């Protein structure tokens, strides 16, 4: 499932992506999507950043996991259908074991609508990890 529409920019520790909120779709209801979907928009932007970083190193993007969200704040109850959202993420830190944290924000028309910190995990060997090996 890919909810992001396009990559706007990527540089160093940052990435910006765009979402045009769909009128019809998996999470669409009553003319928009619930604000809670913003967490998934943020997580997918982090995944896009990790994939971009892997490709820059000549590697294939791999599986990553969203472990948690801290301080998700959203000033709207839903994102309106047709609304153009900019999802900005910036890596705060990355440990050697694959654990990382990102500062994330969602804007529309220059106004911040949502923010959160996402904690993610990218195991060295995703398949072994998912099979319970190297835990």
- pLDDT for 16-56, tens place per residue? 999 999 999 999 999 999 999 999 999 999 999 999 999 99
Given a contact cutoff of 8 angstroms between Cβ atoms, the answer to whether 131 and 109 are in contact is: no
**pLDDT above 90: residue 126:** no
Question: Is residue 15 included in any domain, yes or no?
Answer: yes
Please give the Cα distance from 61 to 78 (Å, whole number): 31
- Tokens encoding 129: 């990890």
User: Per the domain annotation, does 70 fall within a domain?
Assistant: yes
58 CB-near residues (< 8 Å, 6+ apart): none
Q: Considering the domain boundaries, does residue 84 fall inside one? A: yes
pLDDT > 90: what percent of the chain? 81
The answer to whether residue 1 sits within a structural domain is no
Quote the pLDDT of residue 135.
58
CATH number at residue 121: 3.10.129.10
| Number of domains within the chain | 1
Asked whether residue 135 is assigned to any structural domain, the reply reads no
The answer to whether position 87 is within a domain reads yes
Tell me which residue range forms the domain holding 98: 6-130
């Amino acid at each position: 499932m890919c909810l992001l529409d396009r990559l706007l920019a990527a540089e160093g520790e940052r990435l910006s992506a765009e979402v045009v909120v769909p009128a019809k779709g998996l999470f669409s209801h009553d003319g928009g999507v619930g604000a809670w979907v913003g967490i998934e928009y943020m997580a997918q932007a982090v995944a896009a950043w990790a994939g971009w970083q892997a490709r820059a190193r000549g590697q294939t993007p791999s599986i990553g996991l969203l472990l948690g969200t801290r301080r998700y704040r959203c000033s709207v109850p839903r994102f309106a259908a047709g609304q153009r959202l900019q999802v900005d993420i910036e890596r705060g830190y990355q440990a050697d074991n694959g654990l990382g944290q990102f500062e994330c924000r969602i804007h529309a028309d220059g106004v911040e609508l949502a923010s959160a910190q996402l904690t993610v995990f990218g195991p060295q060997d995703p398949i072994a990890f998912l099979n319970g090996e190297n835990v």
